[in-house]
Structure 1
């Protein structure tokens, strides 16, 4: 597996407040702001932070974790095939998000959610 970046996704009640904390006190900058999330980054080797809006409609056990460790990889389709063949606990199958990411989630034996992503730009029309 070729990991090219790492992200820690945190599900929080107030995305804007957490973003202000990370940018004011820890040197992060807002790389992408969306209605439901804010992506934070730094120019050094620190992992990126993704702040996700907690939904009141997401009950415990719904697959919406408070912490997700995310790795950007190359050739996610091959990794998905390998993980399936190895019998990994895939909890969200490979799918395409509207903003251009391909995503798969798996969960380790202790409940840690791991997400693999690959950015594939939309085809130019």
Structure 2
């Protein structure tokens, strides 16, 4: 197998609201749009596909499900600067910037459909 790209597909109630969130705050752009779905991309990330919950293009067993416990995580550089930029923009910060003892500096946003976007920068663990 040779994977040439990857994407995460999320069922949401309001495709436009999530698309606006990812394009306005996180630099994604719409590459495919049609009734009930949109594909978002940026050159340094997997694509994000947003599909309207209940859409017939979804398999029957998941057609009506909402994302629960789903977190889209991005490893980035200078997480503190991104946290500050997004906070200034009024992005919905769910978890403010913090550093974990194992060396993970992170913060989280929540989009209008409840999707958590986590931003991580790895740093030397405390005490090392």
If you compute each CA radius of gyration, which structure gives the higher value, 1 or 2? Answer: 2
TM-score, normalised with respect to structure 1:
0.46
Higher relative contact order (CA 8 A, sep 6+): 1
Structure with greater strand share of residues? 1
